[in-house]
Structure 1
């Protein structure tokens, strides 16, 4: 454990020193390319510094201890801060291109975005707070830090950022009169082909989600670091050339005090040990029966045929007493036999196994005990099996946490949009992408660690931002009397570029984790990064057709009702 903790600490330092600057530079580069404003880039850097320093200060005052997986919190906060900044800066630049001065443009951008930015910060905080349902401290810490940082990002987005933009000589590049942007073209394409997009997207979603059936949870603490670390190379060498590094411990009860020398009990223990030795996952087994058999052989002129349990319980007791007397001063059998001599310990040394394989091996052991030695039934103990079961329980709790976050955000969106229909519609592009990403992982990889249990919660906290911005612009256009098709085009024109920018920032910033030496961070970054890409596609190609169909049906129903009323 000490060696692993040191290795994880070294890995954490490497993440901050290497991947931190890379992620920061990647997000900044994307923002520069998409915004095309030097002062806008400076504003983003200012926001990043304010949010990250606030989160670090919160962690310091709260006395939070960081773990390897917790480092992801700051990468996520970078993306959140950049996303908020991009929405407001792009709105300022857009207003200035329309002829407004700097102060007017800043005021207009703030008026248009303060509510969506608040909602995205709140829903991000809710999504990440659901990580508190996890049994794993690293994920709880990450959730709390991101939740606090997300709300700080909102505060700075409506105070520090507008103040900065109003005093610097930021300029919006003048656009050509009558020029139609790429998102105007995309909006027209989506509107004209909305039925085709809806059905084709639906088929693709079904196919991708089906890949979840191929997913297997395969967590192995010996493989938490990749081969670039000495710890991993050393543990692999030991597992391949010597005994394993993990054990299952069994406390086998004889049923009475002093019963550990009963020959029937010893024969049962010996049979159980021999069964384990036949299992391919086992490297070594040590039990009290091994000591008794070796003593019986030694006291019979080292006859190999006498390497067995004696026929007499009294003789076995004498062997054990003789063995204890022969031990060096200060040593005893308390690590093998309890004080009342009613139970003995059996140690099973494992090869490098995943959590699923450990649980399956113990389940097979329990089946053997029930059939062959009912009196010895004992569940495995030790760090290996406890860790395996804790990961399974963590998945169950995270499912509860994700559902809870989903319910809270659903109620929030229904309240905000003042429509149950639109509130529920907005949830589809927030949960389908995570399922698609896990399904794709199932097709391409198949195995995933504990990162999968928190992917939905983390992804939901991130991708709900774009959906809220799109839905807010859509609802604003509908309130102005535009049709569903016109409202979709309006949303594409006003927020399409910002959605692309924020999604690119999120995705590329998280995909940097693919180069991480920590496998959990690696899987988490890749899975969430892929989810963000799918979410952008869902927001641009699936949500608009869905809104046009369902919102159009509602309008038709209302029109039919009015017509019916007039006829009556």
Structure 2
């Protein structure tokens, strides 16, 4: 191979002047960098928001429909306490006393508006024309064995209880606490409710150790989101340590590690200040921004540092010349990488999930600052620090190690056609597999099985009732119309249809109340367990029933103010997102095909909103990804000064993502909302590999007049180690993030790992093969 001279042609004059200026004024640059980072960092204000509503934009149609339903009835944020007595029988005197005590205590939960339990279930009976509505089991301490047996029989026959507050065996029961959060500050309100609930459960279990207690509901869901936003930061310390150790190991230079740490710290402080200035509240997805900035900022620094160390160790440059040459060679690739990374993260704003908007904007700003610090502070700081030269034996070992990349390059250039064909065949196969992935946004599965919320929710789903539901607000078309027998009959038919569906565990509809009260008003004769015959009769029975209900257990959660609409809730087994959406559409179509227009309704619920979220995110992100790809391709064409190579770069920039999702199908087969952003997020990382390899290839062709094959080997020798090093650092960083118990983050990290590795392999095998083949056809195109 040709010898490389120190006095290169005067290319990249801007980068040389930039480096010369930074080194000349190294002390002011370092001081200004510190002041800038500290100034921005002082504006930081880190708050967390655990409310599940943050996952939905204000224009989200499902959220609008759900908010409209809650405005019509009552807001139903809730805590579900599931009690499993160790003797396997809820209906013993001791257990009923305990349940009654906990039910009474549950009313003291902050912001509680309603408490439903087996013991306070409003059981109806009549004597003559008088309707009596009483707690199913009040003053349980005075009950006899026969009383308790009767209570058991009534409970296990009650459709409004079984599969909702009691299981068929009577071995597990639930207390549902409805809370009306003021909504002023969820960061204060949710922890307040959670703390009170946990204290209540702890006290209960201390007094009644014969019960196992499981907790789920929307408030515990919010709590889990809130707590795992904070716990995401716990991973940062581990990541910093691992990344720094790897940097030290791979560069074998303490000062390189120190300067890399400072670049990250300054970038993090800047991003922290950005959060405060923009008033952003962190959520589980956005709380991982330090991880992103750490791994990506380190990648920028490593390219500059490794080239600098190579110039000193291998080619004998002095410190200042080595820094200038490193900046000259890497300024353009690092700038392009930073720019494309920023573009990729900004594409998250095209999506429909606000926490990912925040993540994209925070990381985009952090990466902008990382570029600034790595091209100013880093060279200035290295110019100040002493240079540790290694002994001759160590230098020879380094040369030997670098030659490994040259050997690999020699292997590639001998068989470009074969490697291209094999690569494209494998990519084609994985492209097909990538299309087989399915969306599945079951929000309970956002948390892995090590999380208590997930464990409790799984137990409740298996032993009592489903956690997922779909709700319908079914109108009558007129004030007071819910008492019309025609409306009630059709509502009853809808209830029956819902109960016949394989997904449905329980249905709660006003038609059941109407039937039950009608039966009670006729001496509890089962022949009258049907809709009342006349509107007047139905209205009279409803009035009597409502007047008999105690405070806090009224029908406001089922009937709107003017009695023109009622709420139907179908509780479902845990279903995948497509199954949940399909069920909702079937129910909506049943109403359209079998009920008058006034009764037509769309299904809403948080579970359904999350089910649709991934699909909406994918549709929204598609345009953003196309825009990003076009912009990045144009940037590369301009930077590389070659249209054909700019177009060629699309292949190694797109295929790693396709390969990643193909391999993901083999691993998991399902995609959640967090993974939809991966294309935009990894685009900058992928471009990093491509642009550094192609820039070194072009330098060899343009400045050193190398042939295509010699240029490929030169690229491997000069940038191979940096690419492998940055890949190892990125893999280490995302490997730690992949251990997060929050699946949106862990799945995103795992597929990013796959894509990063795929990008390196493609840029080491397919890209050089394509460059050689293109150069054979276009001998003079790269001049």
DSSP-derived class of the 1:555 partner: coil
DSSP-derived class of the 1:349 partner: strand
Distance apart, 1:66 and its partner CA:
0.9
CA distance in 1, matches of 2:628, 2:389: 39
The alignment status of 1:507 with 2:731, answered yes or no, reads: yes
Cα distance change, pair 330–397 in 1 and its aligned pair in 2 (3 A): closer
CA distance in 2, matches of 1:21, 1:386: 34
User: Counterparts of 1:84-103 in structure 2 under 5 Å?
Assistant: 84-97=300-313, 98-103=315-320
Residues 397-441 of structure 1: CA deviation (Å, up to 9, x unaligned) = 111111111111111111112222111111211111111111111
Distance apart, 1:331 and its partner CA:
6.7
Runs of 4+ in structure 1 over 6 Å off? 556-559
CA distance in 1, matches of 2:345, 2:231: 25
The alignment status of 1:111 with 2:333, answered yes or no, reads: no
User: Counterparts of 1:528-543 in structure 2 under 5 Å?
Assistant: 528-543=752-767
Which residue number corresponds to residue 75 of structure 1? 291
Which residue number corresponds to residue 447 of structure 1? 670
| Higher strand content, 1 or 2 | 2
Give the greater-gyration-radius structure (CA): 2
Greater shift in the superposed pair: 264-273 or 315-324: 315-324
Q: 2:594 aligns with which of 372, 388, 393?
A: 372
Q: 1:411 aligns with which of 609, 634, 653?
A: 634
The alignment status of 1:146 with 2:359, answered yes or no, reads: no
DSSP-derived class of the 2:448 partner: coil
| Higher helix content, 1 or 2 | 1
Distance apart, 1:131 and its partner CA:
0.8
The gaps in structure 1 that reach 5 residues or longer are 560-568
DSSP-derived class of the 2:317 partner: coil
The alignment status of 1:518 with 2:742, answered yes or no, reads: yes
DSSP-derived class of the 1:344 partner: strand
User: Counterparts of 1:91-240 in structure 2 under 5 Å?
Assistant: 91-97=307-313, 98-173=315-390, 174=392, 175-176=395-396, 179=400, 181-240=403-462
Which residue number corresponds to residue 381 of structure 1? 604
CA distance in 2, matches of 1:557, 1:522: 44
Distance apart, 1:558 and its partner CA:
11
Residues 502-532 of structure 1: CA deviation (Å, up to 9, x unaligned) = 1111122112122111111110110111100
| TM-score, structure 1 as length reference | 0.93
Cα distance change, pair 253–39 in 1 and its aligned pair in 2 (3 A): same
Residues 28-57 of structure 1: CA deviation (Å, up to 9, x unaligned) = 232222212222222222222222222212
Which residue number corresponds to residue 564 of structure 1? none
CA distance in 2, matches of 1:51, 1:355: 38
User: Counterparts of 1:308-387 in structure 2 under 5 Å?
Assistant: 308-328=530-550, 333-375=555-597, 376-387=599-610
Distance apart, 1:198 and its partner CA:
0.5
The alignment status of 1:15 with 2:232, answered yes or no, reads: yes
Which residue number corresponds to residue 40 of structure 1? 256
Distance apart, 1:556 and its partner CA:
7.7
Distance apart, 1:215 and its partner CA:
0.9
Do the aligned partners of 1:209 and 1:440 also contact (CA within 8 Å) in 2?
Answer: no
Greater shift in the superposed pair: 497-506 or 343-352: 343-352
CA distance in 1, matches of 2:432, 2:553: 58
Q: CA RMSD in A?
A: 2.2
The gaps in structure 2 that reach 5 residues or longer are 1-217
The alignment status of 1:390 with 2:607, answered yes or no, reads: no
| TM-score, structure 2 as length reference | 0.68
Which residue number corresponds to residue 773 of structure 2? 549
Q: Which has the higher contact order (CA 8 A, sep 6+)?
A: 1
| Equivalenced residues, count | 558
Which residue number corresponds to residue 721 of structure 2? 497
